[in-house]
Structure 1
């Protein structure tokens, strides 16, 4: 069957009957009886009518969906509530149950088909259904403490599928987070005996609910990556019948690639071969398959080794160059971002363009403010922009002042702005393009002001590292006027600080302490050690000092004074547990240390973690390998 746009009498009849109590009666009867005993007129209502509406793409679609939702959401909530009563129920035919619930969920909840939530009461019904599903899962967990039975597995699968559809709406995601579902869903997965469909739905839900810390606590990045790769592999050649599932899996995986451990696992398991196919081959939908695949590849390219292999893929690079002139703005943007990342990455920019984080330039920039944001937060960004312009600030934002190459234009805007506003939200953190912008602003030492764009948002992972030592302006915790006043105050403070900071055009002589306005740092005597014991636990204080000098991270010398290898090993483990918090803590230690030649930068912190890794033994476990460089540690 193909999509059609003509509104017919048959379609009107289908909508009318699906919104009637007759549908409810037919559905409940059919799920409890052998399908052969279901009257023909009920079969029409339960299967043919939903199909008729599913393939309709005309201008009356939203009205039809709303009509059915208004009529059936309360009934659906009551129907699933039976799972939460603890009573047993019978499904006579699993295939029939699958078919009927699939049709029902497609009509009520397929937000990925553009059937958006348009009224307050429907949104409230969706939230109530989410709450009921949580209650059902709690009851199911209590009734099945060891393992879910076959019937319960079917029900759990459908309940999780509804929750997955809810994750496609930003406001519903906020509500789902408030329900505290993460531990519950993890437990349900454990009880499901690795049921593949349940694992897939669960991971797709958790993809948008989990923080960086949650992902690390799970300690199953390998399993998460393998589940998605397996389902993408099984759907990529499935044609029209499987394309929606492929699209949804790519969408969810695109969200998960914000997490370093997931990215590393996808590369390790060679998942990129499927993303490259979706990006390059013509049979895949340009928006629903090609775009998320390119976004995933961009996220993976933050791994230097993978970036090199991608850059050396001539076919891919030629295709991306072609996409720079695509008529689709999103494809054009991701293509230019990939080229920027792979060919003109910030690390390769001319050194004279680098800004010293501690020494702002005195020359007047072209723009007062640059706004870095996700298009999901466009409405609030527009409000902020309008108020800034009313206050006579010269603001750069991409929907106003883009000419030519988008990514290069954004990079130039960052370079030529006094202040960069980072508009933080889940959508921002999940976007590799936004990550690229924020990283570049941080690397150039820009004055960054983080703005909270969604309720109760807390930055973590890479975004937390960039913004952790800065004062947030929360536009959802206070009124817009109060938040804007706070933003304006911060902008003014940044301007005042920049104006009062002396610009030093040449390096001070080493012994000219009179020209310095701060206390001169005390020299730290370093004896460079050319060889280190393979096991970090055997390092002396001198080894630690030498390591910091050789690796060009002297900012940590003061904070690490008196620290031997064993203590350094423990510090590394603490950093791995919570990189954001440890960055803040070390930054404070460095600032208080009289031996610190400069403040701790994000670059120095990440360099330390990367360089010390070679001397840290891998944790033992089934199938684990020992880091060859530190193999001796395993013998201690």
Structure 2
């Protein structure tokens, strides 16, 4: 949010900004995309600053959690802008890299591209833009840390497992994130940057190569600090750190480190016992991690049922709920007994999900990029796999190719 907009008394009302976008975005897009990419460098600094600020406002007028309300309506204009900024980036990379104006322009471009990735439908489009990933990878060799960071933040949302294995440098990706997190974790003035760095790390952690590097470069103590120390924001820090730790726990080394840390284990138990409705999200995340570290192994070794209450249990990401609910409704119409968590289980969530898996003849794995990115979904799929359940994979996202840990299915 540009700081000057906060002077406006109704700036927190998203609908007001939607009205502004309806008036400005198409006109701005038509003007901006009519300019040749190399003319961006010919503008005075004040004009470039205006373009960057206007882009920021038009792309990200309010917090990222609310962006979905504008993503569909303005999708086509956003895609046109992505293509034009990509062309500007291409022109930039042809200039002498040591020029100050080029450094400044490159940083502005990658920051702008990152803001586009916050719109999930636009992000899907960005993955199809020719040479965008290679250009961003080229930028990661820049000596300016800020440029590296934003390039990696974009790539974290765009790359798939194969990209990480073949064209990226997992060790460098990890080192950059850990360095910036270490430098910002105790600085209140850099809190927003710290939050975004954790989010970026969460994007990368489900890639197996990065996961190994994170453990090797000793990120676990930093994440434990984020969980157990009370000065950190419950949603923007503690919750994200718990989710990253859950993803890391599927590595045997990290699993052992976490189980042996008594401070962490005690704190997780406290969070699980927290009955404050305002912090239910923390309770759910902690319960899943505790279940993974303490209870899963014993339950997996228990007797497998011969008689099942359900024909099918549907494992899915709640961000894909619309299509998954349609699948459930059709299966029920076809006479199948189906279990699905439609309304988020109350109480001990993982215990309820484990019970559903144990009582189902088959587990339908609804695979998508969101499913793969979710450590909660991985926990469900992993448990079903270890129990020897019959897994039925189904791809519910166009052009999605399962990779990484989904290879177990």
Settle same-fold status: TM greater than 0.5. yes
Aligned to 1:529: none
1: CA distance, partners of 2:244 / 2:3: 37
Matched, 1:158 2:101: no
Matched residue SS, 1:370: strand
Contact 1:86 1:140 in 2 (8 A): no
The Cα of 1:67 is off from its aligned counterpart by 2.4
Partner of residue 450 from structure 1, selected from 382, 390, 393: 393
Contact 1:112 1:165 in 2 (8 A): no
Partner of residue 169 from structure 1, selected from 113, 116, 119: 119
Query: What are the residue-to-residue correspondences of 1:492-511 with 2, within 5 Å?
Result: none
Higher relative helix content: 2
2: CA distance, partners of 1:428 / 1:238: 33
Contact 1:91 1:151 in 2 (8 A): no
Aligned to 1:634: none
Matched, 1:64 2:22: no
The Cα of 1:210 is off from its aligned counterpart by 1.0
Summarize deviations over 1:446-480 as a string: whole Å, max 9, x none.
221112122110001110x123xxxxxxxxxxxxx
1: CA distance, partners of 2:243 / 2:300: 27
Partner of residue 64 from structure 2, selected from 109, 112, 130: 112
Matched, 1:245 2:193: yes
Matched, 1:202 2:157: no
Query: Which range moves more in the overlay, 221-230 or 317-326?
Result: 317-326
2: CA distance, partners of 1:157 / 1:374: 34
Partner of residue 437 from structure 1, selected from 380, 386, 397: 380
Matched residue SS, 1:454: coil
Summarize deviations over 1:323-356 as a string: whole Å, max 9, x none.
224424432222111111111233x4363536xx
Contact 1:247 1:288 in 2 (8 A): yes
Aligned to 2:38: 85
List gaps (5 residues or longer) in structure 1: 4-46, 355-360, 468-636
Aligned to 1:374: 317
2: CA distance, partners of 1:137 / 1:312: 47
Aligned to 2:295: 344
Matched, 1:316 2:269: no
1: CA distance, partners of 2:99 / 2:321: 46
1: CA distance, partners of 2:53 / 2:191: 16
* Closer, same or farther: CA 405–182 of 1 in aligned 2, 3 Å: same
Query: What are the residue-to-residue correspondences of 1:477-492 with 2, within 5 Å?
Result: none
Aligned to 1:224: 173
Aligned to 1:11: none
Q: TM-score, normalised by structure 2?
A: 0.89
Matched, 1:52 2:39: no
Query: Which range moves more in the overlay, 364-373 or 331-340?
Result: 331-340
* Closer, same or farther: CA 424–154 of 1 in aligned 2, 3 Å: same
Aligned to 2:76: 124
2: CA distance, partners of 1:351 / 1:88: 64
Aligned to 1:566: none
Matched, 1:149 2:99: yes
Which structure would you say has the larger Rg? Answer: 1
* Closer, same or farther: CA 288–461 of 1 in aligned 2, 3 Å: same
Contact 2:195 2:236 in 1 (8 A): yes
1: CA distance, partners of 2:50 / 2:222: 29
Partner of residue 214 from structure 1, selected from 139, 146, 163: 163
* Closer, same or farther: CA 120–207 of 1 in aligned 2, 3 Å: closer
The Cα of 1:293 is off from its aligned counterpart by 0.8
Contact 1:164 1:205 in 2 (8 A): yes
Q: CA RMSD in A?
A: 2.8
- Answer 1 or 2: higher relative contact order, Cα 8 Å, separation at least 6: 2
Summarize deviations over 1:166-222 as a string: whole Å, max 9, x none.
2222212211112142112112333xx222111111111111211111101135111
Aligned to 1:296: 244
Contact 2:40 2:48 in 1 (8 A): no
Matched, 1:136 2:88: yes
Aligned to 1:44: none
Matched residue SS, 1:247: helix
The Cα of 1:82 is off from its aligned counterpart by 4.8
1: CA distance, partners of 2:322 / 2:338: 16
Matched residue SS, 1:409: helix
* Pairs aligned (count): 403
Aligned to 1:598: none
The Cα of 1:378 is off from its aligned counterpart by 1.3
The Cα of 1:273 is off from its aligned counterpart by 2.7
Contact 1:137 1:188 in 2 (8 A): no
The Cα of 1:228 is off from its aligned counterpart by 1.0
* Closer, same or farther: CA 148–410 of 1 in aligned 2, 3 Å: farther
Q: TM-score, normalised by structure 1?
A: 0.59
Contact 2:157 2:203 in 1 (8 A): yes
Summarize deviations over 1:107-148 as a string: whole Å, max 9, x none.
64255252434374412111111111112122222x32x625
* Closer, same or farther: CA 261–283 of 1 in aligned 2, 3 Å: same
Contact 1:111 1:166 in 2 (8 A): no
Matched residue SS, 1:353: coil
